[in-house]
């Protein structure tokens, strides 16, 4: 029995020996467990002594295993919190900026395709959209792509604001990215708002009427703003043309410009993570170009 | 009075007391406590407690001169109390003293 127990103890020591730090800390425990084995045999019947001995060995192994496990977890967590977590946020922000630019591109392309057939006039708008959806080849795909890209842009830019807030760093490039991100979010919302009346059906008409009256209730400037937006007191062809111009010229161009600026700022921001010689450097690049051309 | 960094659990107090006058190894501490009639400290709590005391700076461990154990290759470690450990013990004794001498403030005077 004792020989068997000692063999077990040898196996335990080999197991714990694989973790040098834990072995350094706790080997005297194992030594005393083995050292007290003769005392156990003298005091208890052999079967009881074996049970006590094995229980001590088992507890020793479990305790050391938990200590090793917790230490490993702590180390992982520490490495996550120091550098990786901010780096992950930085990469996520850049990826989201790429996604926003892609969505802008999709919305712009499909928007231009829609503009080939869309007619911004009160009696023609709804008809032309129906025609695009039904008569033009892959018209419904283009329309729904335009919707998905527009809504997706709002979602992505809102998530981006949260990500950038968590990974905030008070550098010029971050600040540019942050401000352009906020403006991009506002532009995306503005695009979706000006698109309400463009489909010219019952829901959009009445919704726009309510929202115009909300705009009108802003103190001091409300009335004037409402007239500027709707091009008069009622909602008619002029309103539609105003919204169309805002949607497809002012806000769309602003959104594309902002998303390019946003991505550019974040790419510049990423340079801080790179080693000095790997960073993007305009003068170095032009120097190399000049050397090549000469 | 009893600062939180000098806090001792009952087991830790007994272990520190066992180390007061000489360095001892784990099994020796256990035997000392048992032979003095105290409540026996099991293997399962002695070594974790020693590690905690070492981390707090109350004891210092050093390798013994004995040869490694033949089956496992494990070496013996001796524990020695440090100045801070003595302070902790002292604080505990003072606490017991002041608890014994505490008097309620006279009422209705």
Per-residue pLDDT of chain A (294 residues; tens, 9 = 90+): 788 888 999 999 999 999 998 998 899 999 999 988 888 889 899 899 999 999 999 999 999 999 999 999 998 888 777 666 778 888 999 999 999 999 999 999 999 999 999 998 888 899 999 999 999 999 999 999 999 999 999 999 999 999 999 888 888 889 999 999 999 999 999 999 999 889 888 999 999 999 989 999 999 999 899 988 888 878 888 999 999 999 999 999 999 999 999 999 999 888 877 766 677 777 777 888 888 877
B43–A29 CB contact, under 8 Å: yes
pLDDT category of residue B39 using cuts at 50, 70 and 90:
confident
In a domain, B2, yes or no: no
| Residue of A98, A85, A96, A100 lying closest to A169 (CA atoms) | A85
Task: Report the half-sphere exposure of A189 (CA within 13 A, side-chain side).
Answer: 7
Q: Please check whether residue A34 touches B, CB under 8 A.
A: yes
| Residue of A122, A129, A125 lying closest to A237 (CA atoms) | A122
Total structural domains within chain B:
1
Q: Please check whether residue B76 touches A, CB under 8 A.
A: yes
Angle, in degrees to the nearest 10, between helices B43-56 and B26-35: 110
In a domain, B84, yes or no: yes
Give the H/E segment covering residue B79.
strand B77-81
pLDDT at position B3, please? 62
The three-point CA angle A222-A225-A226 to 5° equals 85
A34–B74 CB contact, under 8 Å: yes
Could you give the C-alpha distances from A7 to A11, A56, A118, A128, B2, in angstroms and in order? 6, 15, 86, 88, 47
For residue B31, give the chain A residue with the closest CA.
A36
* DSSP notation for chain A: -HHHHHHHHHHHHHHHHTSHHHHHHHHHHHHHHHHTHHHHHHHS-HHHHHHHHHHHHHHHHHHHHHHHHHHHHHHHHHHIIIIIHHHHHHHHHHHHHHHHHHHHHHHHHHHHHHHTT---STTTHHHHHHHHHHTSTTHHHHHHHHHHHHHHHHHHHHHHHHHHHHT---SHHHHHHHHHHHHHHHHHHHHHHHTTGGG-SHHHHHHHHHHHHHHHTSTTTHHHHHHHHHTSSS-SHHHHHHHHHIIIIIIHHHHHHHHHHHHHHHHHHHGGGS-GGGS--HHHHHHHHHHHH-
Identify the residue whose tokens are 């099991």.
B42
In a domain, B104, yes or no: no
A17–B43 CB contact, under 8 Å: no
In a domain, B102, yes or no: no
Interface mutation target, options A32, A34, A35, A70, chain B, most CBs of B under 10 Å: A32
Task: Report the half-sphere exposure of A73 (CA within 13 A, side-chain side).
Answer: 6
What DSSP state is assigned to residue B80?
E
CB A259 within 8 A of CB A184: yes
pLDDT category of residue B1 using cuts at 50, 70 and 90:
very low
CB B96 within 8 A of CB B2: no
* Mean pLDDT, residues B45-71 taken together: 90
Interface confidence, given as ipTM, is 0.84
Q: Which residues contact B108 (CB under 8 A, 6 or more apart)?
A: none
Report the C-alpha gap between A193 and A255 in whole angstroms. Answer: 14
pLDDT at position A99, please? 97
Domain, as residue range, for B77: 7-96
Q: Please check whether residue A13 touches B, CB under 8 A.
A: yes
For residue A3, give the chain B residue with the closest CA.
B71
A28: nearest CB among B30, B44, B77: B77
Task: State how far residue B82 is from chain A, nearest Cα, in angstroms.
Answer: 18
Stretch 48-107 of chain A: residues touching chain B, C-beta under 8 Å: 56, 59-60, 63
Angle, in degrees to the nearest 10, between helices A139-166 and A125-134: 100
pLDDT at position B109, please? 63
pLDDT at position A283, please? 78
Task: State how far residue B26 is from chain A, nearest Cα, in angstroms.
Answer: 7
For residue B75, give the chain A residue with the closest CA.
A28
Length of chain B: 109
* Mean pLDDT, residues B14-42 taken together: 89
For residue A31, give the chain B residue with the closest CA.
B74
B74–A30 CB contact, under 8 Å: yes
Report the C-alpha gap between B83 and A201 in whole angstroms. Answer: 86
A31: nearest CB among B44, B51, B75: B75
B74: nearest CB among A6, A7, A27: A27
What DSSP state is assigned to residue B39?
P
Report the C-alpha gap between A35 and B68 in whole angstroms. Answer: 11
Residues facing residue B78 across a β-bridge: B25, B62
Report the C-alpha gap between A77 and A176 in whole angstroms. Answer: 31
Task: State how far residue A12 is from chain B, nearest Cα, in angstroms.
Answer: 8
Q: Please check whether residue B65 touches A, CB under 8 A.
A: no
In a domain, B28, yes or no: yes
The first and second tokens of residue A24, run together, are 């350094």
A261 CA to centre of own chain: 18
pLDDT at position A155, please? 97
Task: State how far residue B32 is from chain A, nearest Cα, in angstroms.
Answer: 14
Provide, as residue numbers in chain A, all residues whose Cβ is less than 8 Å from the Cβ of B44: 56, 59, 63
The first and second tokens of residue A198, run together, are 């463009």
pLDDT at position A277, please? 67
Q: Please check whether residue A3 touches B, CB under 8 A.
A: no
CATH at residue B44: 1.10.10.10
For residue A67, give the chain B residue with the closest CA.
B48
Angle, in degrees to the nearest 10, between helices B10-18 and B83-101: 120
What DSSP state is assigned to residue B7?
-
A34–B72 CB contact, under 8 Å: yes
């Amino acid at each position: 029995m004792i020989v068997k127990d000692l063999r077990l103890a040898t196996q335990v020591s080999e197991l714990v020996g694989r973790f040098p730090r834990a072995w350094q800390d706790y080997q005297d425990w194992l030594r005393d467990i083995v050292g007290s084995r003769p005392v156990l045999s003298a005091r208890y019947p052999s079967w009881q002594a074996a049970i006590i001995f094995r229980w001590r060995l088992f507890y020793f192994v479990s305790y050391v295993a938990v200590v090793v496990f917790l230490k490993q977890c702590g180390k992982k967590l520490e490495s996550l919190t120091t550098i990786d977590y901010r780096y992950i946020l930085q990469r996520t922000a850049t990826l989201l900026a790429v996604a926003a630019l892609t969505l802008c591109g999709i919305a712009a392309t499909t928007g231009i395709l829609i503009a080939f057939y869309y007619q911004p006039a009160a009696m023609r708008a709804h008809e032309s959209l129906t025609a695009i959806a039904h008569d033009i080849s892959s018209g419904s795909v283009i329309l729904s792509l335009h919707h998905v890209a527009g809504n997706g842009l709002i979602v992505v830019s809102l998530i981006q604001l949260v990500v950038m807030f968590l990974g905030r760093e008070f550098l010029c490039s971050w600040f540019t990215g942050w401000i352009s991100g906020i403006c991009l979010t506002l532009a995306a919302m503005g695009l979706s708002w000006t698109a309400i009346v463009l489909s010219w059906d019952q829901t959009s008409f009445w919704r726009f009427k309510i929202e115009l009256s909300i705009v009108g209730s802003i103190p001091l400037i409300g009335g004037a703003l409402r007239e500027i937006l709707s091009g008069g007191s009622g909602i008619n062809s002029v309103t539609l043309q105003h919204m169309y111009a805002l949607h497809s010229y002012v806000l769309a161009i602003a959104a594309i410009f902002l998303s390019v600026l946003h991505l550019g700022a974040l790419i510049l921001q990423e340079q801080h993570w790179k080693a000095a010689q790997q960073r993007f450097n305009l003068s170095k690049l032009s120097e190399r170009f000049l050397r090549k051309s000469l | 009075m009893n600062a939180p960094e000098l806090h001792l659990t009952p087991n830790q107090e007994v272990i520190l007391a066992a180390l007061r006058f000489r360095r001892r190894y784990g099994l020796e501490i256990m035997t000392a406590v048992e032979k003095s009639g105290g409540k026996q400290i099991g293997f399962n709590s002695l070594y974790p407690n020693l590690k905690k005391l070492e981390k707090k700076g109350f004891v210092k461990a050093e390798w013994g001169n004995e040869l490694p154990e033949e089956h496992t290759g494990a070496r013996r470690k001796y524990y020695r109390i440090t100045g801070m450990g003595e302070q902790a013990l002292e604080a505990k004794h003072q606490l017991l003293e002041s608890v014994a001498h505490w008097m309620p403030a006279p009422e209705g005077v």
